[in-house]
Amino acid sequence: MALLRPQRAGDLPLLTGGQSPFDEFGPRSPRPAPAPAELDGAGALTVVDDAGEVAGEVTWLWRHWGPTAGSRCLMIGIWLRPGHRGRGLGSRAQRELVDLAFRHTTTNRVEAGTDVENLAEQRALEAAGFRREGVLRGAQWRDGTYRDNLLYAVLRHDARPT
């Protein structure tokens, strides 16, 4: 069974966020339609567990580190429903999204960031093959204050778990 699939309208009520101490802004407003799954712009895919249940979503957007198209990279994120956390599903989903990006785009780099206190996500990113690159000081506004984030990345030529 595929771990990632395009979002369906029926997935949206389950993808509300706001149930983790590390969620950025609390519950999100419901989306009127599923997010696009094309890798050429911002988008999202639904994460499905081995039983076929909606477990969460992976998202992405493009960012640029320089003026040329070759300098763009994918920035990914993940949110899992509470009952699906701590079972390795996040690492698998992030690894699958990285594989899709390298298979279907010319990007050399995929990035992810997480709160400095989110140890579970740090472990998940490392298990997915990401390397910690540094601290982004005061990068995220959450809970009434600016918080530090950690930047992780994987390059096309990096060895990755299978």
Tell the residue number behind the tokens 């997480």, with chain if given.
Answer: 114
Note the pLDDT tens digit of each residue in 57-75. Answer: 999 999 999 998 889 999 9
> What is the extent of the structural domain holding 99?
4-155
Q: Please report whether residue 36 resides in a domain.
A: yes
Q: Please report whether residue 162 resides in a domain.
A: no
CATH number at residue 28: 3.40.630.30
Q: How many domains does the structure of the chain reveal? A: 1
Q: Are 17 and 23 in contact (CB under 8 A)?
A: yes
Q: Please report whether residue 99 resides in a domain.
A: yes
Q: Are 107 and 134 in contact (CB under 8 A)?
A: no
Say what the pLDDT of residue 23 is: 47
For the chain, residues with pLDDT lower than 70 are: 1-2, 17-31
The whole-angstrom separation of Cα 62 and Cα 3 is 22
Q: Please report whether residue 46 resides in a domain.
A: yes
Q: Please report whether residue 160 resides in a domain.
A: no
pTM of structure: 0.88
Residue 33, CA atoms < 13 Å, CB-side half-sphere? 3
Q: Please report whether residue 161 resides in a domain.
A: no
Say what the pLDDT of residue 96 is: 95
Note the pLDDT tens digit of each residue in 71-94. Answer: 999 999 999 999 999 999 999 999
